[in-house]
Amino acid sequence: MDDAALRDLLRRHAGLIHKIAYAYCRDATDREDVIQEIAVQLWRSRDRYDPRFRETTWIYRIALNVAISFHRRERRHRGGEPLDEHLLVVEPVEPGDDVRLLLGCIDALAPLDKALVLLYLDGNDHGSIAEVLGISTSNVGTKLGRIKQRLRAALAAAAHPPEESHGAR
């Protein structure tokens, strides 16, 4: 792929690149750094792109690798503890906050689980997701099912918080 073709590809898929960067970086400066690093990595690997495969698969794979690596570096640098993958703790919300709650639950997922959800929500089939993440198609289905269960449980817990006992029976 020559430089002009890469520039065109970056222009056509800028939304995808920005979406991935936003999923892993809430800070605007960090997000811009990740977007730049994705562009650099795409440029460095442009000669390895195989046109027999979809451009978006190649972009997803590189962009997710860059974003996840950045997320892990930042977590180590800032001394953050990894999230417990099996517990999604969310605050109770008011009606109408469903989207914000769901996004918060997705944001609390482990980086690879978040990547899987991102690919799924973008309408990719299990085969495409497997190709991007380097896992089997059946593993995609299994992981997705487990993630959906965890998200449902977290959403249900937020919608119906346990009532405090006041000693009355």
Question: How far is residue 65's CA from residue 132's CA, in Å, rounded to a whole number?
Answer: 10
pLDDT range class, residue 154, cuts 50, 70, 90: confident
- 120 pLDDT higher than 50: yes
What pLDDT digit, counting tens, does each position of 83-104 carry? Answer: 444 334 444 445 456 677 777 8
Give me the count of residues in the chain.
169
What pLDDT digit, counting tens, does each position of 28-62 carry? Answer: 898 899 999 999 999 999 888 888 888 888 998 89
CB atoms within 10 A of CB 105: 21
In this predicted structure, what is the pLDDT of residue 85? 40
The reported pTM is 0.63
Same CATH topology for 1-81 and 83-162: the answer is no
Q: Which fold has domain 83-162?
A: Arc Repressor Mutant, subunit A (1.10.10)
Q: Which residues of 62-93 are buried (b: 16+ CB within 10 A; e: fewer)?
A: bbbebbbebbeeeeeeeeeeebeeeebebeee
Task: Show me where the domains of the chain are located.
Answer: 1-81, 83-162
Q: Looking at the structure, give the CATH architecture of the domain made up of residues 1-81.
A: Orthogonal Bundle (1.10)
Measure CA 38 to chain center. 15
Question: How far is residue 154's CA from residue 146's CA, in Å, rounded to a whole number?
Answer: 12
